[in-house]
Structure 1
Amino acid sequence: MDATVKVLCYKSKTLANGEHPLMVCICKDRKRKYQSLGISIHPTHWDFKKNEPNELCPNRDEIRLLIQQKLYDLQKTILSKRIEGKDFTASSLFKPKGGSLSLHNNVGECFNYYVRILKEQDRLRYAGMYEVSLNSFIKYAGSLDIPFSDVDVVWLKKYEAWMLKQGLAINTIGTRIRHLRAVFNMAIEHHVIDEECYPFHAYKVSKLSQYPPKRAMSKADIQRVIDYKGKTDIESLAIALFTFSYFTAGINFIDIAMLKHDNIIDGNLCYQRAKTKKQIVIPLQEESKRIISNYSADSANRSGYLFPILSEFHKSEAQVANRLHKVLAKVNKALKLIGQELGLPIKLTTYVARHSFATVLKRAGVSTSIISESLGHSSEKITQIYLDSFENSQIDEAFSHLK
């Protein structure tokens, strides 16, 4: 059966502005396949008998040219396959050149595909972050069932302004727009859209970055936290995890939760960072050994985990992710209250231990490269963000030499 190709005003779908998307329809072997043309039109501007924009359409010539070009390209592809004697389906004609991704020029569809890929790779935490960004864009635009060409510099600036009115931090806005940029990059890589659609050459996401507030404490304040006696099991666990992180090169909560007895080799803690996949080897200090010993009595009931965070009941990636999220929230809540009780100058979290480790070493004269290696960072540039600024007393001392 010959393949037929035409463009339709797709009345089955109505956008928020009352327009219908223009869809390319290929019919072959009694099967139909639709693909968005990337534009929409109001029904009063469409001639449904001729399947083309009518005289009332304000941009009639441009739309007709786009339709003609698309139909020409598809007919040319069909002719080439017939000459070569190759069979094809309606779906195969829509597959992008050189790629396996079969998507429409549709931001929402590509965004959902990106999230699905992250989940398939068991990167559930990142998938959740992308879903938050996706919902934010949908809340702003009403729908992401739009072509990539609609998301231009003006669109991005309006979204940025809208987010600022919501009271969101600059870094949060930057993160969400970076997620959108990643979806653009994927769409270009798989030939879903052309490079010309890319708005991030002119719109610089780098401006949406601010250094986070310093999260490092002095050694005196760190010792006060270490010496604190927890009144409840969760407070005791929170102090233990904070102390363990500080004395083991700032290991983060997720990596701590995954530790088992197999990670202790010849007095060293050996593990692979979940985030960067770098292999880390840290000599265990006496304080760290004491904490492990305190929690080792019932570790057999936790399938060998060093700390009472995960157990044999947490098998799937989803179960592990949910458990980590709940325990981290409880631990940070406990640390926050402890910090308030101690009158600490900053909000106390598990990450303060990581920043404090880096800053204490810096003030002791340890090179940034060694600190970076201990933290498991991919570059020293990332480490610089962790390092606290010089204390006022150090600056005062430096300026005194000017006189």
Structure 2
Amino acid sequence: MNTTVNAVLFKSKTLSNGAHPLMIRICQNNKKKYKSLGISIHAQYWDFEKNKPKRNCPNKEQIINLINDKIKEYSEQIIEFKSINKEFTVTTLVEKVNHITVFKTVHQLFETHIQKLKEERRTGYALSFNQLFNSLLEYNGHLDISFSDIDVLWLKHYESWLRLSKGITDNTIAIRMRTLRALYNVAINEKFVKAEHYPFKTYRVSKLAQETLKRSINKSDIGAIINYKTNHEYTIFSIDLFLFSYLSGGINFVDLANLKPNNIINNQLVYTRKKTKKLIKIPLQPKALELITKYRNSDNPYLFPIFSTFHKSDQQKANRVHKVITKVNKYLKEVGKELNIPITLTTYVARHSYATVLKRSGVATSIISESLGHSSEKVTQIYLDSFENSQIDEAMKNLL
């Protein structure tokens, strides 16, 4: 199936000024399709044998560049179709190439992408895009702009505004910029902007990265938290959730909230992490089993009283997690201050402490990594899966 693409001056149509439209002609199996290049030329300036402007044609170089660029687009698309053995017609080829002309504003893509994430039940990720969306609206006043308007200078001004006007730290700015970069890549993939406008080749998000503040505590601090005496019911609940996370592979709050009895298999905690979709298998320590027994209620399908039968939709669950974790962290912070723990105590400290306590106890980094951030978390879990359960059991005995 041979397909040819060339430029022609369409003499069958004469405009009011006597010129003819310049067209791209695609031929395949005796079928032809014409696509206007948006300009017209008088016949006296066109070489009909070579199908190109004559030497004396006004704006000759610009016209040649326009022709070459468009022919290149069609040629590259033909190669892409052939590389995957995809059948195509002149019509589907033209539609595919000219999809680049579809325009969608930054505002519109934000809305459709956030909705898509919600439909995929990626509520937390959708929330990140929604936070960025609101921040950009506050900064720019509106987002009825094209992605090509977001250039390096625009990004630098937004960065300065976040830092100077909003008092936001570099790490948080980096998160905002990574989210915006992700949306820009979606825009490129969906042909709403050309890759040549991509500003993140020059504007480096990595320059914003700072060394993360210490988020872990040692075994003696863990012991002090366990032995903390109080009659306040919610403080006790907050400490118990912190301890369960610490003893259960640093399980994060969202996954902990979603745990049900069927997540306990042969004294192991088995669940799929919501954020990474990774299957996690962690031996349950005796104290962790005690906590499960303490909070287990036959009227509630969940192991811990964070969700109930009332919380059905993803949005209801997201709202509930936000409400509970805020309250839990409030009481953990108070406990930490009273115990003179050197950092602000939160549920996330349990996650980091799980890793660092094992590392300081001499556990090999191949079994558990000190860092449980986005970049290394998957690697850590792959290592955990590759070892015998007995090795993980032995390692986790170092937690208390």
Assess same fold via TM > 0.5: yes
Over residues 316-339 of structure 1, what are the superposed CA-to-partner deviations in whole Å (9 max), with x where a residue is unaligned?
A: 111111111111111111101111
| Amino acid in the other structure paired with 1:184 | Y
Quote how far apart the aligned CAs of 1:98 are.
Answer: 9.2
Q: Which residue of 2 aligns with 1:196?
A: 196
Over residues 193-247 of structure 1, what are the superposed CA-to-partner deviations in whole Å (9 max), with x where a residue is unaligned?
A: 1111101111111111112211111111110001113432211110111111111
Equivalent runs, 1:55-74 vs 2, <5 Å: none
In the superposition, relative to structure 1, how do residues 110 and 292 fare at CA in structure 2: closer, same or farther (>3 Å)?
same
d(CA) in 2 for partners of 1:373, 1:215: 11
Equivalent runs, 1:4-403 vs 2, <5 Å: 97=97, 104-165=103-164, 166-296=166-296, 299-303=297-301, 305-372=302-369, 377-380=377-380
d(CA) in 1 for partners of 2:292, 2:101: 50
Secondary structure of the residue aligned to 2:378 is coil
Secondary structure of the residue aligned to 1:270 is strand
| Amino acid in the other structure paired with 2:320 | R
User: Does the 8 A contact of 1:249 with 1:374 survive in 2?
Assistant: no
Secondary structure of the residue aligned to 1:301 is coil
User: Does the 8 A contact of 1:250 with 1:355 survive in 2?
Assistant: yes
Over residues 158-186 of structure 1, what are the superposed CA-to-partner deviations in whole Å (9 max), with x where a residue is unaligned?
A: 11111110210101111111111111101
User: Does the 8 A contact of 1:103 with 1:109 survive in 2?
Assistant: no
Secondary structure of the residue aligned to 2:319 is helix
| Amino acid in the other structure paired with 1:112 | E
Secondary structure of the residue aligned to 2:298 is helix
Secondary structure of the residue aligned to 2:229 is coil
In the superposition, relative to structure 1, how do residues 273 and 363 fare at CA in structure 2: closer, same or farther (>3 Å)?
same
User: Does the 8 A contact of 2:238 with 2:332 survive in 1?
Assistant: yes
d(CA) in 2 for partners of 1:137, 1:281: 40
Secondary structure of the residue aligned to 2:199 is coil
Quote how far apart the aligned CAs of 1:313 are.
Answer: 0.9
Over residues 55-88 of structure 1, what are the superposed CA-to-partner deviations in whole Å (9 max), with x where a residue is unaligned?
A: xxxxxxx9xx99xx8xxx9xxx9xxxxxx897x9
Show structure 2 runs of 5+ residues with no match.
1-58, 75-88, 384-400
| Amino acid in the other structure paired with 1:113 | T
| Amino acid in the other structure paired with 2:305 | P
Quote how far apart the aligned CAs of 1:102 are.
Answer: 9.6
Percent identity of paired positions between Structure 1 and Structure 2: 48
The normalised TM-score by structure 1 is 0.68
d(CA) in 1 for partners of 2:229, 2:126: 38
d(CA) in 2 for partners of 1:185, 1:128: 18
Across the aligned residues of Structure 1 and Structure 2, the Cα RMSD in angstroms comes to 3.3
| Amino acid in the other structure paired with 2:197 | C
Aligned residues: 301
d(CA) in 2 for partners of 1:353, 1:148: 40
d(CA) in 1 for partners of 2:316, 2:127: 14
In the superposition, relative to structure 1, how do residues 85 and 318 fare at CA in structure 2: closer, same or farther (>3 Å)?
same
Quote how far apart the aligned CAs of 1:97 are.
Answer: 4.5
Quote how far apart the aligned CAs of 1:111 are.
Answer: 2.0
| Amino acid in the other structure paired with 2:151 | D
Over residues 101-154 of structure 1, what are the superposed CA-to-partner deviations in whole Å (9 max), with x where a residue is unaligned?
A: 996242222222221211111111211111111111121112111122211111
Q: Which residue of 1 aligns with 2:18?
A: none
d(CA) in 2 for partners of 1:373, 1:117: 34
In the superposition, relative to structure 1, how do residues 346 and 382 fare at CA in structure 2: closer, same or farther (>3 Å)?
farther
- Structure 1 or 2, whichever has the larger Rg, is 2
Over residues 247-279 of structure 1, what are the superposed CA-to-partner deviations in whole Å (9 max), with x where a residue is unaligned?
A: 111111111111111111111111111111111
